[in-house]
Amino acid sequence: MNRLFAVTFLFFAFPAGAARADVLESAAHGFVVKSTVTVAATPDAAYRAFTQIDRWWDSEHTYSGDSKNLSLDPKPGGCFCEAMPDGGGITHLVVVYTSPGKAIRMTGALGPLQEAGIAGSLTMELAAAGDSTRIDLTYGAGGFYRGGLDQLAPIVDSVLHGQLVRLKNYIDAGSPQRE
């Protein structure tokens, strides 16, 4: 149980990076957060990079402690999954919509939200912006959470924004770490 607490803490403790992040709506029963970055790539290249989730996702925000255990199968019914060293695994999200170079949508509850029976939907939308691409990442979650989901909205926003900044760094500089 201590490992689960540590993973929960790490999931919510990631600081926000540069770019734009917003809590669009927040209430006791749910929230919607949105982050936006612009990357130096075409929409198709940015989409492909997103699907290489094991290369840019922060290992601190995994149950196994290693992002190399992550995979994303970008087709309807595909899984954003994590293999565990003991042979087990975790389904983080399930792909429900995909349009390469334009958007991908996945449903599920991220991290410790799974334990609360929360339903969520994460959508990444891409739009050409000259020689660059604007990426909008929106996550909406709803359901019952002791104390109210509104208290988690800014934390989840920060975590997802941090992941999107890592994707931007991976696309722009070849490494999710800031140089």
Distance CA 78, CA 96 (A): 8
**Does residue 3 surpass a pLDDT of 90?**
no
In the numeric block, the tokens 């996945």 are attached to: 106
Q: What pLDDT score does 18 carry?
A: 42
pLDDT tens digit sequence for 84-120 = 999 999 999 999 999 999 999 999 999 889 999 899 9
Distance CA 161, CA 17 (A): 7
Task: Tell me the three state secondary structure of residue 114.
Answer: helix
Q: Sketch the domain layout of the chain as residue ranges.
A: 2-173
| CATH classification for the domain delimited by 2-173, as one of 3.40.50.300, 3.30.530.20, 1.10.3720.10, 3.40.50.720 | 3.30.530.20
Any idea what the Cα angle at residue 85 is, between residues 117 and 5, rounded to 5°? 45
Phi and psi dihedrals of 120, rounded to 5?
A: -145, 160
Mean pLDDT of 14-26: 70
Task: Tell me the three state secondary structure of residue 77.
Answer: coil
Task: Write down the mean pLDDT value for the chain.
Answer: 90
